Structure 1
């Protein structure tokens, strides 16, 4: 039982600090994020799980962060790094909007993310997708991967779970998709990866942004990883219960 406990919770640190070593690891989003342009706006989506090493720190995190009224970012990588960058860009973009006396451009927000990610590329682990709508260029999606590159794409996926859905996106994405088709694509993509990526969760969040409004959607899926977790818990509980009566 002691060996099993050690395998389950990891080695304890030496000295007076008796906390498991995984508590000292950085919180990571363990993510699949995605965004799609359509005629009139964008659809963005993400799963909801954050991790510390192999352990789940939060199952219901919202990785879709508002930057301005019609601009959002999807965050992947270190949760602390991405939240800090999002706060900085939100602050900078707010002042920029006041100076212009109008809503900022999506490309401006993307350039601000690129500047921070590139300047601190040796210190930060942050992969960002910037998406939104402005009156000049309509719906736009910009990818800012780790390292600070910036590229506009009609559809973008990111995060550690994105490797599981590239085939799905290649098969199902088509140019000039409608809003409903993009919603099904994003929802289907996040649903697909929850069946294969054990560090992601069954809740997914999607947002639709147009020139008039923003819609928020939350989907719940049952993945094989969640079924496995429940099965392992039940097996362990039954085994411990039987030992008490031997």
Structure 2
């Protein structure tokens, strides 16, 4: 056997084992399926055209019940103290709650964070790739990657895999040489800067709170309270959002994890505040300048004398 190996006889076709061809084919398939281990940008595509459209047809033809519906609530906004990111932790697949502890805010480096919304596998994988590239950028160029460069990288990935079923909506927040940054990117190739963003199925409810309560000249505690309140109202009205509310703050010193609070604890706080505000507004004694809660968003009841005075002024004009 040693002489055969030295002479190369064992490599002749008639000297191979009967299962050698099958083993080679399996190894080739394994190499193709794990090509992203060497190059994380080279993913194995589905073996049919237009996966986003044809996968649903194949699933219906096979009679397999697969529900790709998903939901979440993430938000971010800028103010005088930097950038605040807040998100829930519930991961769902249709009506099924897969996890209550999903971490939807990812630490990319000491000065940049990313949020997850959409397909959990897509967002987690590309956030890990982005974190890897951020670290390599620091080692190669001896400086941190800018938030704009990170957003451009995700947009290029989205353009490369557009139409292949990639579902991803992310916010990138950080602090670089140009100051605080907040950028929204998604799987359709959209990239835009802004001061207030909310992504996910509960975003309409969160934006309703942010639109009425957000202002640039806020203190840190006011910003924290606004972010928690917005996520709480989203979780109370959106069945696909819930779990733990995680809050992060980014400034010139880097990011900090401010709190991780369960939604039930926030309910005990904000529901009590809303009830007290309801009674105050009903009696005409509500003087909140920043209507952040559902109770304080109701119109103020004017005393009868003030109403009569306004009506008289209009009629005289």
Q: Which residue of 2 aligns with 1:168?
A: 209
Residues 34-183 of structure 1 correspond to what in structure 2 (within 5 A)? Answer: 34-123=75-164, 124-134=166-176, 136-183=177-224
Q: How far apart are 1:25 and its partner, in Å?
A: 4.5
CA distance in 2, matches of 1:121, 1:163: 26
CA distance in 1, matches of 2:202, 2:230: 10
Higher strand share: 1
Q: How far apart are 1:40 and its partner, in Å?
A: 4.1
Q: What SS does structure 2 have at the residue aligned with 1:76?
A: coil
CA distance in 2, matches of 1:91, 1:51: 27
User: Which segment is superposed worse, 31-40 or 60-69?
Assistant: 31-40
User: Which segment is superposed worse, 78-87 or 166-175?
Assistant: 166-175
**Match 1:185 to one of 226, 229, 245:** 226
For the 8 Å contact 2:75–2:206, the answer to whether it is kept is: no
Q: How far apart are 1:179 and its partner, in Å?
A: 2.5
CA distance in 2, matches of 1:214, 1:168: 24
For the 8 Å contact 2:73–2:199, the answer to whether it is kept is: yes
Q: How far apart are 1:44 and its partner, in Å?
A: 0.4
**Structure with higher RCO (Cα < 8 A, 6+ apart):** 1
CA distance in 1, matches of 2:203, 2:162: 21
Q: How far apart are 1:170 and its partner, in Å?
A: 1.3
User: Which segment is superposed worse, 70-79 or 96-105?
Assistant: 96-105
Moved over 6 A (4+): none
For the 8 Å contact 2:207–2:230, the answer to whether it is kept is: no
Q: What SS does structure 2 have at the residue aligned with 1:111?
A: helix
Higher helix share: 2
Per-residue CA distance 1:169-226 (angstroms, 9 max, x = gap) = 21111233333222112111101111100111142101112222432111122289xx
Q: How far apart are 1:27 and its partner, in Å?
A: 8.3
CA distance in 1, matches of 2:255, 2:206: 26
Give unmatched runs, 5+ long, in structure 1. 1-12, 14-20, 225-246
Q: Between Structure 1 and Structure 2, whose CA radius of gyration is higher?
A: 2
For the 8 Å contact 2:171–2:183, the answer to whether it is kept is: yes
For the 8 Å contact 1:40–1:211, the answer to whether it is kept is: no
Change (3 A) 1:114 1:177: farther
For the 8 Å contact 1:49–1:60, the answer to whether it is kept is: yes
TM-score in terms of structure 2 length? 0.59
Q: How far apart are 1:26 and its partner, in Å?
A: 4.9
Per-residue CA distance 1:48-101 (angstroms, 9 max, x = gap) = 100122100001111001111111101100000001111121122222222220
Q: What SS does structure 2 have at the residue aligned with 1:142?
A: strand
Query: What is the root-mean-square deviation of aligned Cα atoms in Å?
Result: 2.3
Q: How far apart are 1:160 and its partner, in Å?
A: 1.3
